[in-house]
Amino acid sequence: MFHSNTETLIDYWRARKGSRGAPARADIDPAQFPGLLSQVFIAGQGEAGAWPLRLAGETLVEVHGAGLRGADLIGLWAPGYRAPLQRALEAALRAPDLLVINAEASAREGDTRRLEILFAPLLGPSGAPDRFLGLYQPLGASAGFGARPLGELRMRAIAGAGEATPSPGLRLAALDGRQIA
């Protein structure tokens, strides 16, 4: 079970994909989920394993304390989590399948914030999945990130959000007591 905002975007994605593995980017109409726009991002598959952000809502800019257009999504994560994230994103495009990461990050003052990050594959102009529609959803009692930018993201858990069970490429494993891909 995911946060209701995550579920809203998952339901929208599933309705848009129809019988295809994923919807095309052209099928996505942000006017259909206006309450989530500040939390939404689109990341495309770039050169040499990079995932440049093509669009990043205000929440992402506030969370990371900087404009993110063109920034590498992988670079927002702590070094020990970059390779597992890369593998999970590639697996989610191959399937294609939804991916949800339960993550955390520390504010510069030391307090930790939790968030749920959705990655929903989209078909590019070639007809192959090559990008993600994503969502940053704050979790916890405060249900917000506060005014302080957060540091690098760390994975707490990662799972597919498919209608059946997670795909084999997205099984949970532990690293230093934390669940990762």
CATH number assigned to the domain comprising residue 106:
3.30.450.20
134, 43 contact by CB (below 8 A): yes
- Summarised one tens digit per residue, pLDDT across range 122-146 is 999 999 999 999 999 998 765 566 6
Residue 9 belongs to a domain: yes
Distance CA 129, CA 50 (A): 15
Residue 29 belongs to a domain: no
**Confidence band (pLDDT; 50, 70, 90) for 62?**
confident
Residue 21 belongs to a domain: no
For the entire predicted model, the pTM comes to: 0.85
| Residue-number span of the structural domain to which 152 is assigned | 4-16+36-180
Query: Mean pLDDT across the chain, nearest whole number?
Result: 86
Residue 24 belongs to a domain: no
Q: Is the pLDDT of residue 166 over 50?
A: no
Pairing of strands 129-139, 40-44: antiparallel
Q: 159 in the Ramachandran plot: left (φ > 0), alpha (ψ -120 to 50) or beta?
A: beta
Report the number of distinct structural domains present in the chain: 1
Q: Is the dihedral of CA 49, 97, 88, 71 positive or negative?
A: positive
What does the buried/exposed string (b/e) look like for 92-121 if buried means 16 or more CB atoms within 10 Å of the residue's CB?
Answer: bbebbbbbbbbbbbbbeeeeebbbbbbbbb
Residue 68 belongs to a domain: yes
117, 129 contact by CB (below 8 A): no
Residue 28 belongs to a domain: no
